Amino acid sequence: MIRKREDPRRAIVEVIQRLGRATQLHLDERHRHFRITDIVLITASLLILGGAAFDVYHARLLYQDFNEIITDMYAIHDHLIGVDNDMADITINMQAFDSHMTHMDNMNDRMKSMAATMPRIRENTRLMAGDMSSVEENMRLVGDAMLILDTRIHNMLGGVGIMRSHMNQFSRPMSAFTPFMP
């Protein structure tokens, strides 16, 4: 039996065929991974873009809220100035009322002289004199309380002015975003 000799080129062709198949499998796998990577990158980019739009929207809302807070603080400041002026008027009126109450002592003396001739009036006057001293004391206390209240309102006015200034400083960095916001 004669054996046919194998062609040496055939082994090389088989090796090259195997290498070709392995290379094609590698290329197919690589292409599949590229598609997966592209999908992941596009998805991540869309998520980041959506998050950025959400952040810009919330920054815009924050800017608008800060503007409303500052507007409200200006209104509070203006109203507190009015309250301060009103409290000053009330204090002046209470001082005038207190000075009128000092004249009640003179009335009390006159009523005592009338009580000598009219016993019934004397009893009523005595009760009224006690009530008047109580009213005078209460009015003096109310006048003192109004002075304290006037001082506190004036102090609140300064505090609101400081708060308004701080909010202006706090909102200034937000105004830099205004040109970029929708």
- Residue 1 in any domain: the answer is no
Q: What's the pLDDT tens digit per position in 51-75?
A: 999 999 998 998 998 888 888 888 8
Six token digits for residue 86: 């009103």
The pLDDT of residue 46 is 96
The pLDDT of residue 180 is 56
- Residue 59 in any domain: the answer is yes
The pLDDT of residue 79 is 85
% of the chain exceeding 70 in pLDDT: 75
* Burial of 125: CB neighbours in 10 Å, binned 0-12, 13-18, 19+: buried
* Domain that residue 107 falls in: 8-180
Q: What's the pLDDT tens digit per position in 123-179?
A: 665 766 666 777 778 778 878 877 887 788 777 777 777 877 777 776 666 666 555
- Residue 3 in any domain: the answer is no
Tell me the backbone φ, ψ of residue 118, rounded to 5 degrees: -125, 95
- Residue 138 in any domain: the answer is yes
Length of the chain: 182
The pLDDT of residue 77 is 86
- Residue 2 in any domain: the answer is no
- Residue 74 in any domain: the answer is yes
CA 76 to CA 20: how far, in whole Å?
A: 83
| Element counts in the chain: helices (H) and strands (E) | 3, 0
Question: What pTM was estimated for this model as a whole?
Answer: 0.40
Domain count, the chain: 1
- Residue 40 in any domain: the answer is yes
**pLDDT of 102 above 60:** yes
Q: What's the pLDDT tens digit per position in 83-97?
A: 888 888 888 888 887
- Residue 122 in any domain: the answer is yes
